[in-house]
Amino acid sequence: MNVTDTPEIAIEVETRYVEDQSQPGADRYVFAYTITISNTGKAPARLLNRHWVITDANGKVQEVRGEGVVGEQPHIQPGEYFQYTSGAVIETPVGTMEGEYEMITDDGRTFLAPIPRFTLSIPRTLH
């Protein structure tokens, strides 16, 4: 992969605890996250692959790699955005996620768009 300077891709995340799918007594905590990927640069770009590192409060790490997101490889024009919702299951009430998207511009330059670390937390756990 020929990694170049990152064109302007901004990533925003919102999370929520999915109580009705969680089973705290069985160490199963389900979280939904909504990601907004905005192209704030000048070049159109397509999201090719994702890489996630999901860590629970016990230090257990899950790595997830795959093609696209939610079955799509969105092509994002300058000034536009793509938004999707997905989920994660961890064994503790608090954890973190971080990662990167592999992107490609229309002229064939590939780059990594980092996804900053964010927290998964059941309500009233963190201040």
The string of pLDDT tens digits covering residues 89-107 is 999 999 999 999 999 999 9
Q: Which CATH architecture has domain 9-121?
A: Sandwich (2.60)
State what percent of residues in the chain have pLDDT above 90: 90
Q: Are 41 and 105 in contact (CB under 8 A)?
A: no
How many CB atoms are located within 10 Å of the residue 85 CB?
Answer: 11
Determine the pLDDT at residue 124.
79
Q: Are 22 and 127 in contact (CB under 8 A)?
A: no
Determine the pLDDT at residue 84.
98
Low-confidence ranges of the chain (pLDDT < 70): 1-7, 125-127
Q: Taking CA 64 as the corner, what is the angle to CA 2 and CA 45, rounded to the nearest 5 degrees? A: 40
For the chain, the domains span 9-121
- HEC per residue, 32-52: EEEEEEEECCCCCEEEEEEEE
